[in-house]
Amino acid sequence: MEEAEEEKKDEADYKRLHTFPLIRHSDMPEEMRVETMELCVTACEKHATNNESAAKMIKETMDKRFGSSWHVVIGEGFGFEITHEVKNLLYMFFGGSLAVCVWKCS
3-state secondary structure of 81: coil
Domain of residue 97, residue span: 1-105
Q: Say what the pTM is.
A: 0.80
Ordered per-residue pLDDT tens for the chain, 106 residues? 556 666 666 655 555 555 678 999 999 999 999 999 999 999 999 999 999 999 999 999 999 999 999 999 999 988 888 999 999 999 999 987 899 999 999 7
CA-atom Rg of the chain in angstroms: 15
Is residue 96 within 8 A of residue 78, CB to CB? The reply is no
Supply the CATH number for residue 39's domain.
Answer: 3.30.740.10
Return the pLDDT at 74: 96
pLDDT value of position 5: 65
Positive or negative, the CA dihedral 51, 75, 12, 93 is negative
User: Collapsing DSSP states into helix, strand and coil, what is residue 17?
Assistant: helix
pLDDT of residue 2: 59
Q: For the chain, what is the domain count?
A: 1
Other beta carbons within 10 Å of 30: 8
pLDDT at res. 92: 95
